[in-house]
Chains A and B, each alone.
Chain A
Amino acid sequence: MRTTVKTLALPLGLAGALTAGAAGAAQTTLPKDLPPYGQDKPLPVPTITQKTLDNGLTVWVLPRTDGPPKVDVVLAVRGGKASDPADLPAMSDLLASLLTEGTRTRSAIQIAEQLQAIGASIDATAGNDGITVSGSGLASGAERLVGLLADVGINASFPEAEVKLAKANALQALKAAEAQPSYQASRAIARAIYGDHPYGRTLATEASIGKTERAALAAAHTARFRPDRALLVVSGRIDAATALTYANGAFGAWKAQGEAPAEIAAAPREAKPQHVLVERSGSVQSAVRLGRPVFAANDADEIPAALANTILGGGGLDTRLNRNLREDKGYTYGAYSSFSVARRGGAFTSGADVRNEVTGAAVGEFVKELQKLIDTPVDAAELERAKRAAAGGYLFRNQLQSAVARSLAANWLVGRPPEYLGQFVPRTREVTAEQVQTMARRYFDPKTLSIVVVGDKAVAEQLGAYGSFGATPAGD
């Protein structure tokens, strides 16, 4: 049950010729009879067939001849939560969930049963920059799966009764989510990082759910789901020609209507640090989060910053944060850090859930670890381990065709080309210790980070050294 702490989202790097012994020598003496790592095999790079249909739809196909007999199909469209009206935050969540609840020719139950009949499922999710509709099913049903995905993407009809039920359920689900400390912490740190920028209001409120009407959903669907601002990825046991034939058959007649959503403004790269205690009476732990705005996707800092993050808290348990807060101090089940970058901005966040009595001490250890990366260059062995971890993460993801398809779609949404996938590891290999330190200076400086604590108000007295946490936020 270490599962929750072990993120599988390792960033990417490549394997050098270092032995296990050499890699760890600088900090830990490794057992003398531990065998070295073997010779690394060449890194596979996915071959992607690219085509633009006559209506402007971009199609990428990754055929596979091995792995399970299944096909994955992903449709991504530009325009996500950041394009929602300011008074309807997270309207895109409702929009995405309702895509499979009825089309012009199929009811919700028909969609569910027809998917089941081909051993398939379709899930739609809304992100900051777009909506992603992901289908996966048995290879024998590939053509029908592409057809069903096209139907829910193009012809979703937002039946009144389904909208009403989805809103009622979303209101209760929001109530349930708000009881979770992690949800409260995410909301508060996003606000501190992004302020009034649309990336800062991507969670629903009672008011936004209540005010969302069928007409607004249908209008947003029409504006955002258009072939010239959409990508279709097909991967799995299917050849490129067949996949393109299916894509053309299902999506070829699709036409854009009306105006596309406007491009959103760039998010700020700096924010005045805030110190927020969200009171949760009776809480037996404090959810601690630190964060700040950073760069958007495709920034020159993106790859070196990701590597710096792997060292700090982006990997598994052998990270600076987990070695300290978990394995040395026993303060937490897991501490982490991450960069999440979007098309028009990004955020660095770090955090852990810790017992009440060590809340202040835990914040102190975060500050120490961040400062250490600023003050002291990482040694060669630790840098090399992080690069190998990055390569391993890439290789692991490539085992899973749905993960590759979804990565390609996510990259496209933030403006990265298809080649980015194969370039990440070689580019990561080039990062130097000096660059890692530069990234730490730019993005890890504790003085620039907002700090959010969700917990019992009694923990406030432990936080004085890190800022003025006196006031509880009023919320929305």
Chain B
Amino acid sequence: MTFRRLVLGLAALAIPLGAAAADRWQLPIAVKKLDNGLTVVVSEDASSPTVGVSVVYHVGMRLEPKGRTGFAHLFEHLMFQGTPNAPKGTFDRVIEGGGGMNNGSTRADYTNYIETAPVSALEPILWLEADRMKTLDFSAENLKNQQDVVKEEIRVNVQNKPYGLFFWTDVNRLAFSKWENAHDGYGSFADLEGARLEDVRAFHRDFYGPNNAVIGIVGDIKAEQAFALVEKYFGAIPARPVPPRPDVDEPLNTREKRESQTDALAQVPALAVGWKMPERGSPDQAPMDVLAQLLVGDSASRLYQGLVKGREQLLNIEGGLNWPLGDAWDYAGPAPLVLFGLYKPGVKVDAVLEAIDEEIARIVKDGVDAATLKRVKTKMLADYNDSLEAFISRADTLAKAQLLWGDAKTVNQIPAWIDAVQGADLQRVAARYLTAANRVVIDRTPAPAAAAAGDKP
């Protein structure tokens, strides 16, 4: 994928700050790269005696081995299962017992490991993160245990749940053509059960070296101190060769794809629509982000007002660019704009699609009035600030920006890129991307037998 951040940067420079400039929140950002290739991003904030930490690895569901769907996520679980130095249980014990919280998540383009804690626990946290970057306890028992846990996770989120995340996995399968982008990142049980210790070893060796990672640290610590601590605990970990990254790019679709599904657990029909989006760094990315907010961002949005209110077709509507697993700024490979809603009895899916098309056509034809555009951008700035409030989220956002954009300072530039978007930009991207040809549609209706499932009071 081409790197086009500069294009956006120049556009932003040319535009004076909008009325919301006083509400712009600029973060202090310091970046350092260690000799072994580990990049460290620090943002100081002494408003709370705590820190947020995020270690982000440049590997996700797209790069898991073929025949091993769900492996990147299973591997993420295994990162919490101990090392030769710190047996299983140590990680959670030290962090939670130090007053902290930790988590991990697997996405298409990255896998992140995040912690927040009183600043007194920072050194043990860094030690633990460095320790599992070196090696893991590759034990058959741990692998079996987490295969079971991941299968329970999939049962609770997919197999035993109405709708079962079809607006993520099935939209991707339908929208994308390359295996890397189209396969189910949660994984099939057969593939998960097929995972072997040698797969785990190889994945750690290939993708979990310091040169394939960024660490973000935010909170009550000076940048120089943070750099020194990361050097102390991670500095001696040697860089490891990373396999060449496959070309995962794919063009927009040229023919609409539709699918009808039945859901044995659902009682109310649902609809998901997806369109393929501009690549990361494209001049169309910021306009698309604004357009997504205009369409589906909040209760003033066109689709909420037009379809939930107005036409009264839908119970609710959710969605966005790179939804539900990310946002407009944290993808690298192909990503969709997704809409998901439950529709009412008697409503035809074609009528809903027609209504969505009408709202889009109105934007393409008339553009957007200045007052509306300003309102939408103001709300986006507020939401953006909110997303950075918790130290753990701020550390993660900075680390991801460094990893995916090559520059953590992107985080301070995005508000200006959004502010620079004009009505004509929205017309252009609506006409280019939100077409029927570039669209996938999934209609999911309750299976006739579903009436029997569940206790009716």
Contacts and interface: CB of A to CB of B under 8 A. Distances in A.
Contacts of A317: 80, 92, 96
17 contacts: A1-B76, A3-B105, A15-B118, A34-B94, A68-B389, A109-B305, A136-B386, A178-B457, A205-B457, A284-B155, A285-B152, A285-B155, A317-B92, A333-B156, A355-B152, A388-B99, A391-B118
Contacts of B146: 330
Interface of A: 1-4, 6, 8, 10, 13, 15, 20, 23-24, 28, 30-31, 33-44, 64, 66-70, 100, 108-109, 112-113, 115-121, 136-140, 165, 168-169, 172-173, 175-176, 178-181, 184, 187, 205, 278-285, 315-318, 323, 326-328, 330-333, 353-355, 384-385, 388-393, 395-396, 398-401, 454, 472-473, 475-476
A40 to B, nearest CB: 5
A453 B372 CA distance: 50
Contact of A138 (B90, B117, B378, B388): B378
A4 B453 CA distance: 25
Contacts of B119: 38, 41
A28 B99 contact: no
Interface residues of B, number: 102
Contacts of A392: 50, 98-101, 117-118, 121
A284 B97 contact: no
Interface in B357-377: 374-376
Given A115-B300, A285-B160, A173 B315 contact: yes
B159 interface: yes
A120 B265 CA distance: 37
Interface in B142-159: 144-149, 151-153, 155-157, 159
Interface of B: 20, 22-25, 45, 47-50, 73, 76-77, 80, 85-90, 92-94, 96-106, 116-124, 127-128, 131, 144-149, 151-153, 155-157, 159-162, 186, 220, 264-268, 298-300, 305, 308-309, 312, 315-316, 342, 344-345, 374-376, 378-379, 381-383, 385-386, 388-391, 450, 452-457
A21 B92 CA distance: 14
A172 B149 contact: no
A454 B453 CA distance: 11
Given A327-B145, A355-B151, 7 more contacts: A2-B104, A6-B103, A100-B299, A140-B22, A176-B267, A393-B101, A395-B49
Contact of B266 (A43, A100, A176): A176
A179 B103 CA distance: 29
A179 B454 contact: yes
B455 A184 contact: yes
A399 B99 contact: no
Top 5 nearest A-B pairs (CB, nearest first) are: A392-B99, A330-B148, A119-B382, A475-B457, A385-B97
B93 A399 contact: no
A396 B101 contact: yes
A165 B149 contact: no
A291 B20 CA distance: 50
A399 to B, nearest CB: 5
Nearest to B83: A31
Given A23-B97, A67-B47, A353-B156, A176 B162 contact: yes
Contacts of A31: 85-86, 90, 127, 131
A112 B315 CA distance: 18
A173 B454 CA distance: 15
Contacts of A4: 153, 156-157
A66 B156 CA distance: 40
Contacts of B131: 31
Given A41-B118, A119-B381, A388 B98 contact: yes
A470 to B, nearest CB: 15
Given A69-B25, A331-B152, A34 B342 contact: no
A37 B89 CA distance: 18
B89 A112 contact: no
Nearest to B447: A282
Residue among A121, A323, A391 with most chain B CB within 10 A: A121
Contacts of A326: 149
Chain A contact surface mostly: mixed
A119 B120 contact: no
Nearest to A6: B103
Given A4-B157, A168-B344, A353-B156, A316 B45 contact: no
Contacts of A400: 389-390
Contact of A327 (B89, B386, B390): B89
A234 B339 CA distance: 35
A38 B122 contact: yes
A209 B367 CA distance: 40
B77 to A, nearest CB: 7
Contacts of A69: 22-25, 385
A318 B89 contact: yes
B99 A318 contact: no
A15 B124 CA distance: 15
Nearest to A384: B97
Q: Which of B93, B99, B161, B309 has the most chain A CB atoms inside 10 A of its CB?
A: B99
A354 B455 CA distance: 19
Contacts of B149: 326-327, 330, 332-333
B51 to A, nearest CB: 10
B415 to A, nearest CB: 11
Given A285-B152, A333-B153, A30 B94 contact: yes
A385 B93 contact: yes
B352 to A, nearest CB: 14
Nearest to A455: B160
B183 to A, nearest CB: 16
B117 to A, nearest CB: 6
A38 B98 CA distance: 10
Contacts of B157: 4
A70 to B, nearest CB: 6
B48 A37 contact: no
A354 B116 CA distance: 29
Contacts of B381: 119, 138
Nearest to B378: A119
B47 A66 contact: yes
B455 A280 contact: yes
Contacts of B156: 4, 285, 333, 353
Contact of A2 (B48, B103, B117, B342): B103
Contact of B375 (A6, A67, A116): A116
A339 B106 CA distance: 31
B385 A40 contact: no
Contact of A119 (B23, B73, B105, B124): B23
Max chain A C-beta neighbours (<10 A), residue from B73, B264, B389: B389
A78 B342 CA distance: 33
B376 A399 contact: no
Contacts of B124: 20, 34-37
A323 B390 contact: no
B49 A41 contact: yes
B201 to A, nearest CB: 21
Contact of B315 (A172, A315, A318, A333): A172
Given A355-B152, A473-B455, A37 B120 contact: yes
A293 B50 CA distance: 36
A333 B152 contact: yes
A353 B76 contact: no
B267 A175 contact: yes
B456 A176 contact: no
B453 A67 contact: no
Given A41-B220, A117-B375, A175-B268, A34 B127 contact: yes
B268 A172 contact: yes
